[in-house]
Amino acid sequence: MAKSVQAAGKVAANVALAGIGIAFLVPLLWVLTTSVAQGQTLKVEWPKHLTGANFAHVTTVDILFRPLLNGLVLCGGGTLITVVVAILAAYPLSRYRSRLKRPFLLTILFTTGLPITAIMIPVYAMFTQLNLIDQMWSATVFMGSTALPFGIWLMKNFMDSVPVELEEVAWTDGASSMATLRRIVLPLMWPGVIVVTIFTFIGMWGNFFVPFILLIDPNQLPASVSIFTFFDPQHGGVQYGQLAAFSIFYCIPVAVLYLVMSRKLSGSFALGGALKG
Amino acid sequence: MTASATAERTPAAPETSGAARGTMRGRTIVRGLPLLPAVVLLLIFLAGPIIYCIYYAFTDMQLTGATTTNFVGLANFRKAFGDDQFYNAILQTLIFTVLSAIVGQNLLGLAIALLFRLATKVLRSIVGALVIAAWVVPEIVAGYLMYAFFRDEGSLNEILKFLHLPQQNWLYTLPILAVSLANVWRGTAFSMLVYSAALAEVPAELTEAAAMDGAGVWQRFWHVTLPTIRRSVATNLMLITLQTLSVFGLIFAMTKGGPSNKSTTLPIYTYQTALQNYEIGYGTAMALVLLVIGALFSLVYLRALRPEAD
């Protein structure tokens, strides 16, 4: 009796989950069918004539490769800044006691969700006044800084899970705290570093607003902004087929990063320890 | 252990060492040194703009021409609170945040995480991958995917037609619902990951013991599971609420705030005011209101986190 109830529960769970899966799949289908279709359609339907023309049209330096490279420079650089600075900042926060620690961490937690849209106007004014507008490096540093609160907070929680006893041995041997960080703590928390890297990069790669405001020269725009050119009415209406093909290329770096790095996380996404608050 | 005993004598000992604590001020500074790059970047790029934001909000700054900027006191706020569009933007922001984050992403993420514990492994991996795919797709692409899904001749209406259900032009009649559902589609992965991890840490003995005592599925969830993952719930709610409050690209790509401002949230309205109409002072005043709304939500969640918060 109880067994059959349990079995029925399992079937119901599978059915419900399958339904949710389909709901998540349907919107994604459009990009696949449209990218190989002739003509411009917004419908999900299997194209009557398959064509590679959309892919051929977008694989040029101006349309695809330069924006992707700009994005890699901008987001790769920004992620590097976030991860390195967050590791450094997490160490004292995780290892030492201080009266300032709790207020600092609470501020960080609040800043984590700070609506970046809200501060972009003063940032724009500041960048214009200091002549930092339309410069790749300043936009990169800004992207890195905005991701810092979340990075520091996650990194600190991952670092907390590395037992401090291991370092104490090294300290008695006269190793400096930076040396123990590099040789003992970091090797033990690679999964944490990987999670922070993925989160940071994905967030930046999809970020449209910040580069949209801070960069002007079309040659410097990352793919998240240049994708708007497919909607330019000057090019004769929206080129949905090309947009779809471009979107597929655009998603590849993120998908590759996610696949490569999540493999190293030994199956489960090691998020639990870091998100308890 | 000997390790902690020797640590008492070393100068760089961590918080376990009581003897070394609170002595030399110089050492505290050296210990805090690795924080410096983070503090500098945060001060320049986050604290600075927030302070500027507060300052601009009390001026009549404009981007057009070389007009001087004057201190105008509370005029921008008075203007905002007398502006129907502003009230509309706050209302749309709250609807969007409650619908898509607090209800949508949060509950759906929890539901998926709970279903994962019952479902077969194959289905679990496939659905997990699909949900994460929606999250990995960059914001602007997600916006267009969702535009294609909800528009008049879009997939949703095709499906409804197939099911003989009434169709409508979603982006025209219910744009805020459409963008909210779009945000659920895009953002649920985060809650799913958080809750999967949190549920994995609920001790099986607890739920088993409750089952022995005759607790039903709902009672076990309500009285055992939920209190155990309480802190994850609060952290997750805080993060997704604050992220959702500032969503711009998704809405901008789908509706641009329209039609007739029916999906104009505060970030969209701020953008229109400050960077399309160049009324910087007025725009930042509204941005400040957005910050305050975020802070109010945070206070509620921080209360839930407080008893054992680090």
pLDDT digits (tens, 9 = 90+) for B66-96: 567 778 888 888 888 888 889 999 999 999 9
What number is the ipTM of this complex?
0.84
d(CA A169, CA B12): 11
d(CA A40, CA B278): 36
The answer to whether B84 faces chain A, any CB pair under 8 Å, is no
Q: How far apart are the first and last CA of chain B?
A: 26
- Computed over every residue of chain B, the mean pLDDT equals 82
Select from A43, A145, A227 the Cβ nearest to the Cβ of B158.
Answer: A43
Q: Which fold has domain A61-238?
A: MetI-like fold (1.10.3720)
What would the CATH number be for the domain defined by B84-305?
1.10.3720.10
**A52, containing H or E segment:** none
Omega into B259 within 30° of 0, i.e. cis? yes
Tell me the two tokens of residue B58: 């009390």
Half-sphere exposure of B103 (CA within 13 A, CB side): 10
Domain limits, chain B: 35-78, 84-305
| Integer angstrom CA distances of residue A17 from A13, A66, B115, B116 | 6, 40, 7, 8
Q: What is the pLDDT of residues B243-299, one digit of tens each?
A: 898 888 899 888 888 787 888 998 899 888 887 787 888 888 888 888 888 888 888
Task: Please name the residue of chain A whose CA is at the shortest distance from the CA of residue B187.
Answer: A24
Of the candidates A65, A29, A27, A56, which has an alpha carbon nearest to the alpha carbon of residue A45? A29
d(CA A277, CA A155): 12
d(CA B60, CA B67): 10
Q: Are A21 and B123 within 8 A, CB to CB? A: yes
Query: Along chain A (277 residues), what's the average pLDDT of each consecutive run of 10 residues?
Result: 73 92 89 79 68 84 90 95 95 86 82 75 85 92 93 87 81 81 84 85 87 90 84 68 87 82 58 52
Select from A121, A142, A273 the Cβ nearest to the Cβ of B283.
Answer: A121
Q: What is the pTM of this model?
A: 0.81
Q: What is the pLDDT of residues B136-182, one digit of tens each?
A: 787 888 888 888 888 877 778 888 888 888 878 888 888 999 999 99
d(CA A13, CA A7): 10
Q: How far is B178 from chain A (nearest CA, A)?
A: 13
CB < 8 Å from A in window 11-40 of B = 12-16, 21, 28, 31-35, 37-39
pLDDT score of B12 more than 50: no
**A234, containing H or E segment:** none
Domain limits, chain A: 61-238
In the block, tokens 């739920």 appear at B207
Q: Which residues of A touch B155 (CB under 8 A)?
A: 26-27, 29-30, 43-44
Question: Which residues lie below 8 Å from residue A220, measured CB to CB, with a gap of 6+?
Answer: A70, A134, A136
